[in-house]
Each structure stands twice: as C-alpha cells, then as structure tokens.
C-alpha cells in the first residue's frame, strides 16, 4: 500500500475498505470500518464477504449481490461511483449509508476503495422534515374545508332570512308592514312598531334624507346600504330596495320596498376575508418552508460535499493554505446551515403549536452577554466592536428560550449587515410597564420600501450581508412571532448607509403576558 494512501486510509474518520478482483472481496479495512460494522479486528472483518455485510435485498427490491456487481462495474468503467446502500453490521443490524467506490492502483494492481458513511441521522432528519411538510399540508386542507363550511352556512342563512316589507309616508310614518317587520326590529307586535317613525330607526338621520332623494330622483333604489337601530339599540346592517308611490298628479306621496338584514352576511364576508388572509399566509408559510428545504438547505450540503470530495480525492494537489481555506468554507457553510436549521425547527414549532411557552422573570443582561459570547467570533472576523449598556438587574417577564432566539437572530443580523470595523450597541431601559431592548448597528441600513416586508413570511426580504453572507429572512419572521407570543412588540428604524435599530418591547410584570 503506497505511503500517502496508507496515511489517508488509517487517519480517515470515514470507513474505508479495499476490495480486490476478481471476486471483489474485502482485503483491508481501517479503524472506522471496524467500528462501523462492529468487527473486533481487521482479521474478523476480512473474513466477511460483501454479501455478509448487506441484507439479501436492497430497498428497491434488487438482490444485493446483483446490484453490487452493477455498482462495481460502473466504478471500474468511470473511475468512481457514488450511491446509497443499505448495509448490515456483523450483529445483523441494518443501516443506511452512502458509498463512494473509487478505482485505485496500488503496487501495479487495480483495486477498489469503498468509502462508507452512515447516514442514519440524515435519514432521520429528512423524515422529520417530511413530517412537518405533511402536517402543514394537513392544516391547509383543514382550513380549506372550514372555509367551504363557512360559505355554506352563509348561503343557508341568506335563503332563510326574513325581509321586512314596508310602505311608509314621505315623513317616515308606517302605512303598512309585513308580519315579519316587528320581529325584524325586535318589537312585540305591529302596534308597538307603528308608534316608531321609520326615520327614527336610522342610525344616521341623514341617510334617510339621502335615501328619499335617490328614490324621488331616480325612481328607485336598489341595495341602498344603511345602518338601522333595533328596539334594544342594536345596530344592524341593511340593504333597502324601494320605489316611490305617486298620486294622480305624479307627485311622490309614499315609499314602498323591502329591508334586508345583512348583518350576518357582513360578518360572514369579514370572516371569509379573514379566512382567505389566513389561508394566504398559510400557503406563503408552506411555500417558504418548501423553498428553504429544496434550496436553502440543499445548496449548503452540495457545497460541503463538493469541498469534502475535493479534499478527499485530491488532498496532495492542494497546499496547506488552500486546504485551510476550503476547511474554513466548510465550517462557515456548516455553521450557517446549522443556524438555519435551528430557526427552521423553531419556526415550524410555532406554526404547529408544539413549542412550549414558559414565561418567567429573566435578566436581560445575562441573555445578551451569553449571546455575545456565542457570536463574538463572527464579529471579530469583521473587526466589529460590540458594546453593552444594560443594567444588570433589569428583568423582563418572558420565555427565556424564545427571547434568547430573538436576541441571537437580531445580533447575528447586525453583524451580518455591519461593515468591517463598524460597531454594534445593545442597550435596554425600563419604560415603566415594559422594557425596551435596542440593538443598533452602523451597517448598510434598510430601504424604506423594504422595512414593511422584513417581518413577513410571504415577502422575499433576504439580502446578502456586507461580506456576502447568505440568509433566508426567516430569522426576523421568527423574532416577530416570538415577541408577539410574549405580548411584546418589535419595530425597526433604519437609514441607508448609516445603520439600523431594532427595538424590542417586552413586559416586565407577569400580569402583562397573555399566553
């Protein structure tokens, strides 16, 4: 075994094994291989055939032995081949893995190296993400069904409603009325209602004059919207359709028409609009969720895999400085992806109602200092100075985990959008019934037209940072939801090229919080 390959073989944390033709049996396996398959030593491992370490069939129904020959053939023809495989440990436990078969020449012989990576955790994460996706789709279906039921109730109400039919003088005296009129206005009988002028039923008397003029000038009114008052002073929304009654000379002497109570219809319309708004928000949330899964989570992994494969396959071709640069890129992308996944899981918790809300008295100073410790390396890379002006005793009544997430996201954003050698100041003050926390930076600022969108899930408000840092905009959406859950408020003040201030108001007393 050549020296450089032997060093990589023995030091790799991935399971690497050698297979030799023509039977393609294992001839060697590194320490990670022995641990992965549960072998006591290399001798025990080498005594096993590839068939011993695979179930009889793969998940796609192919015989493991037949599919293995196909995979080996592709690797030999193309020089390498990457695929997923279900392996089996010596104790019989099966596990999913990725396999990279690479053809190598050692001591003049063509061999195959198999690099195997256990992806059990990755599969578990994918399963959880699918679970959240299915749950969101279920919510959309339920909301759609509720919306349809609401609309059907409205239609049923409209068919069975009882209109008030009337004939009145120009002065507003009742001349005749339908049997439904007393109940329509909440009176016991016609005799009681006849004592009340129609003009006195108008919430705004000017509407009566406007209605009368329209009937006389146009010869009719159709669906004239007006608010009328019932006996108990309840105001109802109505539509009046009426025509004039004229004498022999053509003079208008009375009005005849119907009054339809549309109060329930108005409420149904408002409910429909609210349902449509919530449905749009839900669809936007679902689209954002799927976009993050399909792009913002997949892209970083492609980068990580790409850099890792280059380091794995061409280590000798790079200088130490180049290797360090690629390792730094892998670390940076991994850290960003980890933060994104944290935000994604926390946000999905708010959408599914699974997040635990436990408000308590909390010192804001401690949260801020701990968050600075966590993100200080990022600030140092850009020579950004962070200062704190918060009384150590100052407390808020809030859920510590939620507010920690809020402060972490706001500080991370401040670092992201602040130029090199800039500054960030975190301050807090007690305003009486609440505590105001301000995170101010000297960064690039936010355009006025974008400020209204930065807290919305349905708006694409993500921009690259001053060092081209990537983001999804999900962090600020999460901040707004968490602050609202703690009965607080978040607002922003910003000026292009001068910086931004994010101000978070939180209650300082228990009775202020509505869980």
Q: What is the pLDDT of residues 436-485, one digit of tens each?
A: 999 999 999 998 888 888 888 766 667 888 888 876 677 888 889 889 98
Q: In which residue ranges of the chain is pLDDT below 50?
A: 154-155, 157-161, 294-296, 512-515
Residue 512 has a pLDDT of 41
Question: Which of 115, 99, 106 minimizes the C-alpha distance to 33?
Answer: 115
In order of their start, the domains of the chain are 3-118 (3.30.450.20), 161-261 (3.30.450.20), 356-515 (3.30.565.10)
Over the range 338-363, which residues count as b (16 or more CB within 10 Å of their CB) and which as e? ebbbebbebbbebbeeebeeebeebb
- pTM for the full model? 0.43
Would you say 213 and 181 are in contact if contact means Cβ atoms under 8 Å apart?
no
Residue 422 has a pLDDT of 94
How far are the Cα atoms of 49, 53, 57, 216 from residue 26, in angstroms, in the given order?
Answer: 7, 11, 20, 101
For 463, the token pair is: 């921009």
Question: Which of 504, 475, 501, 479 minimizes the C-alpha distance to 490?
Answer: 504
Residue 179 has a pLDDT of 84
* CB-based burial label for 79 (10 Å; 0-12, 13-18, 19+): exposed
The neighbouring-strand residues paired with 363 are: 395
Angle at 169 between CA 168 and CA 174, to 5 degrees: 40
SS3 408: helix
Parallel/antiparallel/unpaired status of strands 385-389 and 423-430: parallel
DSSP letters, 78-119, are HSEEEEEEEEE-TTS-EEEEEEEEEEEEETTEEEEEEEEEE-
Would you say 214 and 238 are in contact if contact means Cβ atoms under 8 Å apart?
no
Would you say 220 and 212 are in contact if contact means Cβ atoms under 8 Å apart?
no
Calpha distance 515→513 (Å, rounded): 6
Would you say 507 and 488 are in contact if contact means Cβ atoms under 8 Å apart?
yes
Greatest extent of the chain over all pairs of C-alpha atoms, in Å: 122
Residue 159 has a pLDDT of 42
Q: Which residue has the tokens 């073989």?
A: 9
For 500, the token pair is: 């931004």
Calpha distance 9→372 (Å, rounded): 40
CA dihedral 318, 323, 325, 328 (to 10 degrees): 160
Query: How many Cβ atoms from other residues are within 10 Å of residue 217's Cβ?
Result: 9
**How far does Cα 207 stand from its chain's mean position?**
47
């Amino acid at each position: 075994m050549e020296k450089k390959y032997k060093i990589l073989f023995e030091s790799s944390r991935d399971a690497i094994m050698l297979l030799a033709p023509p039977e393609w049996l294992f001839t060697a396996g590194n320490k990670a291989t022995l641990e992965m398959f549960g072998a006591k030593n290399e001798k025990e491992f080498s005594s096993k055939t590839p068939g011993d370490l695979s179930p009889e069939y793969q998940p796609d129904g192919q015989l493991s032995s037949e599919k293995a020959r196909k995979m080996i053939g592709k690797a030999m023809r193309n020089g390498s081949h990457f695929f997923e495989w279900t392996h089996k440990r010596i104790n019989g436990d099966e596990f999913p893995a990725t396999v990279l078969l690479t053809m190598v020449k050692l001591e003049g012989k063509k061999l195959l190296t198999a690099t195997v990576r256990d992806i059990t955790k990755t599969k578990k994460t994918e399963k959880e993400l699918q679970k959240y996706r299915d749950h969101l789709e279920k919510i959309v279906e339920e909301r759609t069904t509720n919306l349809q039921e609401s609309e059907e109730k409205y239609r049923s109400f409209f068919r069975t409603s009882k209109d008030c039919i009337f004939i009145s003088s120009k002065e507003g005296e009742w001349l005749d009325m339908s049997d439904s009129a007393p109940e329509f206005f909440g009176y016991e009988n016609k005799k009681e209602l006849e004592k009340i002028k129609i003009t006195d039923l108008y919430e705004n008397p000017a509407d009566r004059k406007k209605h009368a003029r329209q009937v006389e000038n146009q010869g009719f009114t159709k669906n004239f919207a007006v608010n009328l008052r019932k006996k108990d002073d309840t105001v109802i929304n109505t539509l009046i359709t009426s025509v004039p009654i004229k004498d022999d000379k053509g003079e208008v002497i009375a009005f005849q028409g119907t009054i339809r109570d549309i109060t329930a219809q108005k409420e149904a319309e408002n409910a429909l609009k609210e349902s449509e708004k919530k449905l749009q928000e839900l669809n936007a949330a679902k689209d954002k969720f799927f976009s993050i899964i399909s792009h913002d989570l997949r892209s970083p992994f492609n980068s990580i895999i790409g850099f890792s494969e280059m380091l794995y396959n061409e280590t000798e071709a790079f200088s130490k400085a180049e290797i360090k640069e690629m390792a730094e890129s892998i670390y940076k992308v991994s850290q960003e992806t980890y933060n994104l996944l944290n935000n994604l899981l926390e946000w999905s918790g708010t959408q599914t109602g699974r997040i635990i809300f436990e408000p308590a008295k909390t010192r804001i100073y401690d949260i801020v200092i701990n968050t600075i410790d966590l993100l200080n390396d990022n600030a140092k890379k850009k020579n950004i100075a962070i200062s704190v002006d918060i009384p150590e005793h100052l407390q808020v009544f809030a859920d510590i985990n939620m507010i920690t997430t809020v402060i972490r996201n706001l500080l991370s954003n401040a670092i992201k959008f602040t130029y090199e050698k800039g500054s960030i100041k975190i301050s807090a003050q007690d305003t009486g019934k609440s505590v105001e926390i301000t995170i101010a930076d000297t960064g690039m600022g936010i355009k006025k037209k974008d400020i209204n969108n930065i807290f919305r899930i349905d708006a694409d408000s993500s921009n690259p940072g001053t060092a081209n840092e990537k983001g999804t905009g999900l962090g600020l959406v999460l901040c707004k939801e968490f602050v609202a859950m703690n009965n607080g408020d978040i607002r922003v003040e910003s000026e292009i090229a001068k910086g931004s201030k994010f101000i978070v108001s939180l209650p300082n007393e228990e009775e202020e919080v509505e869980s």
